[in-house]
Structure 1
Amino acid sequence: MPSTARRTHYWVTFAVLAVSVASYTLMQSLTIPVLSELETEFNTDQNTVTWLLTGYLLSASIFTPIMGRLGDAYGKQRLLVISLAALAIGSLAAALAPTIGLLIAARVLQGVGGGVLPLAFGIIRDEFPREKIGGAVSIVSSLLAVGFGAGIVIAGPLSSALSYHWLFWLPFIVTAVAAVVAAVLVPESPVRTPGRIAIVPAILLSSWLVALLLSLSQAPQWGWGDAKTIGLLIAAAVLAVAWVRVELVVDVPLIDMKMMRLPGVWTTNLVALLLGVGMYASFGFIPQFNQTPSSAGYGFGSTITESGMILLPSAIMSFLTGLVAAPIARRIGPKTVVVFGSVLAAVGMFMMAAFHAEPWQVAVSNAITGTGIGLAFACLAGLIVAAVTPEQTGVASGMNANIRTIGGSIGTAVMASIVTAHFLPSGFPKEVGYTAGFVVLGVALLAAAAAGLAIPSMSEKAIEDKLEQERIDRELAVMSA
């Protein structure tokens, strides 16, 4: 390992990475509970205000794998600082935005911060002792679920006590400090992937992601049979095929297709896709269910704050499972943890479909789902890291996070179509729409468990030994150079 004189203790590095990932994941959901408030504040319509989510989602989906690949090539610490700076500047711009258009643009800039996810996993792999990598990756991975849930929980109290502006001021302060600390304390990665970044694959990747996610996010409003929806889906398919073909022939691919075909990679990505379907859609629609007036025959008429508190057990359990997932994986294997977690999450979702007459029932079912998703997420990143070479950690982790986001878009679009299929005279969706939607999400989580069975078996000790050998090889290479 190069010059150890300036290398920060790995727990300091971990603290910076945890804050960075938590800040990014919070920004995914902080605006969801206050969309109606922002609609009124900016005197706009629902279709326009939803672009605060769509714009962020599109940007993050594009930049997460690209920033991971750039980190592999030019230095993970350098790109981490850039990602945090983009998140901080975007948050500042959002806090000061005088119009809805500028607020949407600020959210697009925030999406560049998605690079913190793959970069954090890569830095952990490079800097941590082998016996500490599994636990660190598990905790950071669990923050993906925790942060998303926590954003929904704290948005209401923060907006009510201060104003919606603090949904952006707070992330600005935290990420700006994190960027400075990362620049000073986080050591640069000794692992690089040589070669220039191919521009055409990056353009094609961005294009098919935009076409796919735009069609999925707008399909509930446009209709699945609308010409725009169908046209974008066809364009996404054509561009995706073109992207794969180009990646196969360029000298230095943006995403190595041979890597994507590895059994440990494609199976883990499939699980991530299906878990994304269940997690993002449930967090997006359960608050709406809670806030529906009881006069509709369901719901509790909850305020934004009350609705968030009902989801608090899910966020807590996701975090706690992140702390214990690594020790459990050492005993029974990470694959088993992923399968068990997915099944447990499905059980919670089916409970939500069957029992939702009281707030405590919703809280319990969500706590079970959060426990399962927390366990599964905590092991997915470690499986990806172990399946690829050190030089591919950033891009492989970025694609895994990106595929999870795509799953969230699919789940949200399908859930929206089911929930809004039938309305009551009062204008609220019928209860049967929510019930059917939660059943569909439960089936997706069960499918994630089935896909998890295809993940190649590998004990946690075998993963640690593989990572330790790679660290020794890197040190020998540096010494010989």
Structure 2
Amino acid sequence: MSVDSPSAPAPDVDERGWSLRLVLSLISFVLVLEVLSMSYIMVATTIPLISVEFGTTQGAWMLASVLLVGSVISPVVGKLADTHGKRRLLLVCIGFTIVGSVISALAPNYTVMLAGRILSGFFIATLFLSYSLIRDVFPSKIVPLAVAIATSGMGLITVPLPFFSGWLIDSFGFRSVFWVIGGILVVSAGLIVVTTPESPVRLRSRIDPIGAVLLGGGVGGVLVAISFGDTWGWSAGSTLAYMFGGIALLVAWVASARVIREPLVDLALFGQRPVIFTAISAGFCYAISALVAVVLPTMVMTPLIPGMDLGYGFGADAEGVALYQAPLGAAGVVAGVVVGVLVGRNVKPRLTMIAGMTLFIFGGVLMAYAHDTKLSVFLIATIIGLATGTGYASIPNLQIVSVPPQLQASTASMVAVFQSMFAAILPVIAFSVMNSHVALEVEGAVIYNNDAIIYGWLIVAVAGALGAVAAILLPRNIKQINVAADQEAVIVPTNAAPLARS
């Protein structure tokens, strides 16, 4: 079947446009995705306190565990969502995250704390589930804007969050972070239940447990090796075991996907230019964001050292970093809304993606050679924020254009794996380069020389260039890919019983 109307809604979608229910529904999605962004930033702030509380040197697992679990479960969640309903799986993932947050808040030891964080890894899937559900239940003419607002809204929280996090943790301790995350998600879930119908689009298929185990284990092994290779040593037996073990499982997954009748992911989809180059450009976009999130604070928090002219560093404290993150977040929100409006007026998301990656190149080069004053960093951070918002809003619109509705969630879940993998790899590469340019160590803290900072931002520019190439290689006129007869969509009334598995 060839689907030529990329934004054609399901038969029971009201096409009249915005209504109070749709506004509240969109607010619920924005809340969920804001918490996704907020949880990363706030939990990162608590790691030093948690490490002291539980006497552990493995604080990095507070973030790494979520990334790993998110990468492993995303393909499975995507397939289940296409089969059993996107809203249902969205609520399930939010539910796991709420439970995980409560466990972390009450944790008596670090093992229990990590158990809560592992459950919170389900939250990663809410990103692609949210915009896939919007595509199915919102009127087609407002889908591009709604998706852009939902996804680019993740930058809005970066403006006040560092101030709020500092006050919350100082006043109520690190456990308060998990209570706040869980509480907001309870409200968001309730709002989704009240305002958002279930997707009427289903895919008749079976779950592939063999593929799920092989893909999950493979991605997890590679990410563990990448995440901890710098700590363990790249030639260490544990690093090599995880890396080559993960690669072997991925090879086995590819082999199984070619022989299983209904695989977890149809690899033929990734032979299609619109899908594979959307995944690659999305991976570079998220990887650059992850790298900027680390390099920018490192740069501005470096203290002024008497007798040394590093060429950078303002000695900002944790709250002071917000002054440089604020323009990045605000510009991202503005850019995302602009992309939504433009795509809604038939500007191709391929062009907006190219524009976003080009802005990353421009911002990376500028920051590499003009980071010695607060004003220049502030202004260039704004450019990088525009790039981030433009890229984030373009990705789901590219996905919506190129993939039919019955494959939205499962294909988007694999794009999410690209995003997680690239986001894990690029910072490791960058800091491997930067660690070769250390000026001195002060009480165990590393102070980089100016060359390290230059190289870090040039890596941002190079990644932007690679992402731009991938976006340029997208077809000029994207038509939704064909699907096999046994993958055709089934439209189910939103108040009907769940579709029986064939």
TM-score under structure 1 length normalisation: 0.89
> How far apart, in 2, do the equivalents of 1:152 and 1:352 lie?
22
Report the Cα offset of residue 473 of structure 1: 9.9
Aligned counterpart, 1:399: 414
Cα pair distance change 1:358/1:163, threshold 3 Å: farther
What does residue 44 of structure 2 align with?
32
- Residue identity in the other structure for 2:372: A
Partners of 1:227 and 1:158 in 2: CA distance: 42
1:232 and 1:255 mapped to 2: Cα distance? 23
Corresponding position: 1:18 with 2:36: no
Per the TM alignment, residue 16 of structure 1 is displaced from its structure 2 partner at its CA by 1.7
Partner of 2:446: helix, strand, or coil?
Answer: coil
User: What displacement does 1:348 show?
Assistant: 1.2
- Kindly tell me: are residues 9 and 425 of structure 1, through their superposed partners in 2, closer, same or farther at Cα, counting changes over 3 Å? closer
Contact 1:94–1:168 (CA<8 Å) still a contact in 2? yes
Letter in 2 for 1:192: R
Paired residues for 1:267-346 under 5 Å = 267-295=277-305, 297=310, 298-329=312-343, 330=345, 332-346=347-361
Paired residues of 1:65 and 1:118 also in contact (CA < 8 A): no
- Residue 152 of structure 1 and its aligned partner are, at CA, apart by 5.5
- What's the counterpart of residue 56 of structure 2? 44
- Of 199, 202, 206, the match for 1:192: 202
* SS of alignment partner, residue 204 of structure 2: coil
For 2:111, the equivalent position in structure 1 comes to 101
Preserved contact between residue 197 and residue 253 of structure 1 (Cα < 8 Å): yes
CA contact (8 A) 1:349 1:441 kept: yes
Deviation for aligned residue 1:266: 0.3
* Cα 1:346/1:146, change in 2 over 3 Å: farther
Post-superposition offset of 1:378: 0.5
Closer, same or farther in 2 for the Cα pair 1:83/1:271, shift >3 Å?
same
Q: Could you list the runs of 5+ residues in structure 1 that have no partner in the other structure?
A: 464-471
SS of residue in 1 equivalent to 2:55: coil
Q: Within the alignment, does 1:444 sit opposite 2:463 as a pair? A: yes
Correspondence for 2:390:
375
Q: Taking structure 1 as reference, are residues 160 and 351 closer, same or farther at Cα in structure 2, changes over 3 Å only?
A: farther
RMSD between aligned residues: 2.7
Amino acid at match of 1:253: P
AA matched with 1:408: A
Indicate how the Cα distance of structure 1 residues 313 and 161 shifts in structure 2: closer, same or farther if over 3 A, else same. farther
The CA deviation at 1:418 is: 2.1
Corresponding residue number in structure 2 for 1:222:
232
Superposed CA offset, 1:41-66 (max 9, x none): 33322xx0011011111011112232
Q: Cα distance 1:116–1:165, how it changes in 2: closer, same or farther (>3 A)? A: same
Number of equivalences: 465
| Residue of structure 1 equivalent to 2:266 | 256
CA contact (8 A) 2:302 2:447 kept: no
| Cα shift readout 1:13-45 (whole Å, capped 9, x = no counterpart) | 222222122212322332223432332333322
Paired residue type of 1:28 = Y
Structure 2: how far apart are the matches of 1:421 and 1:31?
29
Structure-1 residue corresponding to 2:128? 118
- The 1:4–1:277 alpha-carbon spacing in structure 2 relative to 1, beyond 3 Å, is closer
1:396 aligned partner, one-letter code: T
Q: Pick one of 451, 455, 476 that aligns with 1:457.
A: 476
Cα gap change, 1:149/1:95 in structure 2, threshold over 3 Å: closer, same or farther? farther
**Which of residues 334, 344, 355 in structure 1 aligns to 2:370?**
355
Quote the sequence identity (%).
24
Structure 1 residue 145 displacement after superposition = 4.9
CA contact (8 A) 1:32 1:284 kept: no
State the partner residue of 2:5. none
CA distances 1:161-193 after superposition (whole Å, capped 9, x unpaired): 443223222111110122223234321111111
TM-score with structure 2 length normalisation?
0.86
Stretches (4+) displaced over 4 A: 1-5, 144-154, 472-476
CA distance in 2, matches of 1:332, 1:11: 24
* Post-superposition CA distance 1:110-162 (Å, at most 9, x none): 11122212221221111111111111112222235555787566433432344
Deviations 1:83-111 (A, max 9, x none): 11111111222222232222222111111
Is residue 76–residue 189 contact of structure 1 (8 Å, CA) maintained in 2? yes
1:172 has 2:182 as partner: yes
1:329-362 CA-to-partner distances (Å, cap 9, x unmatched) read 3364211111111111221122222122233322
The one-letter code matched in structure 1 to 2:447 is P
Q: Which residue number in structure 2 is paired with residue 84 of structure 1?
A: 94
**CA spacing shift, 1:158–1:348, aligned 2, 3 Å:** farther
